[in-house]
Amino acid sequence: MQSLEVRIHLVLRLLETKSCSGGPIGQMAGVFALQQGASRIIFVDTEPRLSEVKGRFSQKDQSKIELVDFKKLSHGVTSAPTVVSKLKEMCEGRGPDVALECAAGEYAKGWLHWLEMTIGAETDTSEILNEMIEGVRNYGRCGITGVYVGYVSDMTHMS
């Protein structure tokens, strides 16, 4: 566990704005980021967990915590607001300095990934990773703490 703590410490040392999920690992990363001087933490998850997560932070840190409910946004190729466009909007058009994926790939957002996972065509989906990579600012940093155990289907990535 010490190497994980050291790695997160090194990644978060010089942060301005960070985004992560609202699960236990995301919360831990948010605490570390605040301890290292992050000016903002953006949690991407869904209610009721988002409000519960924000309530766990001290009153002095409440103003640094921002929430994005991904279920209220679209996903995929669309002109409607998405997690990526929301992160860019919240960060003056550039995206967060750092994004940490703390959920893993077993959570399908789109119906096609859900179907592929159901029939066994894939075990993990890259949707959350794609949002993280696209959402972070140019030359920003991405980290993956989630566990990916299998494979992603090529069917959903064909052009």
| pTM confidence score | 0.77
Band (1; pLDDT cuts 50, 70, 90): very low
Which pLDDT score is estimated for 9?
Answer: 38
Tell me the domains of the chain and their CATH numbers.
2-157 (3.40.50.720)
Which pLDDT score is estimated for 85?
Answer: 93
Residue of higher predicted confidence among 90 and 124: 90
Please report, for residues 52, 78, 148, the alpha-carbon distance to residue 109 in angstroms, rounded to integers and kept in the order given: 22, 14, 16
pLDDT in tens, 105-126: 666 777 777 787 788 777 767 7
Q: In what order do the strands lie in the sheet with 98-101?
A: 65-69, 40-45, 17-20, 98-101, 141-144
Which pLDDT score is estimated for 155?
Answer: 56
